């Protein structure tokens, strides 16, 4: 398995991953995984920035604002409340 495949499989589970996958269906791959590189690109962030959120199940307030704006109404700030860190 390639390193990229190993990294992707590490983040298949977790409450923040599940929330992102649910609220951002346009970012699901053909296999149903959440497309972190595409999401990161559209948020103008690095892949590693998103992976840090997923590893910690925490997201910055600025990350929430960006994600909610990108969601086009599918996600609300309240959806992320338990994941926000200051």
* CA pair distance 15, 1, nearest whole angstrom: 25
* CA pair distance 66, 61, nearest whole angstrom: 9
Each residue's pLDDT tens digit, 25-61: 999 999 999 999 999 999 999 999 999 999 999 999 9
Q: CATH classification of 3-83, choosing from 1.10.150, 1.10.10, 1.10.260, 1.20.120? A: 1.10.260
Kindly tell me the burial class for residue 53, based on how many C-beta atoms sit within 10 Å of its own C-beta (0-12, 13-18, 19 or more): buried
* CA pair distance 2, 32, nearest whole angstrom: 19
What are the extents of the domains in the chain? Answer: 3-83
Reported pTM: 0.83
Judged by DSSP in three states, 34 sits in strand
Which one has a higher pLDDT value, 85 or 59?
59
């Amino acid at each position: 398995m390639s390193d990229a495949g190993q990294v992707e499989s590490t983040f298949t589970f977790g409450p923040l991953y599940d929330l992102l996958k649910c609220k951002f269906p346009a970012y699901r791959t053909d296999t149903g995984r959440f497309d972190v590189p595409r999401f990161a690109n559209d948020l103008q962030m690095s892949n590693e920035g998103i992976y840090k959120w997923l590893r910690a199940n925490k997201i910055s307030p600025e990350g929430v604002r960006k994600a909610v704006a990108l969601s086009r109404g599918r996600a609300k700030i309240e959806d992320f409340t338990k994941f926000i860190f200051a």
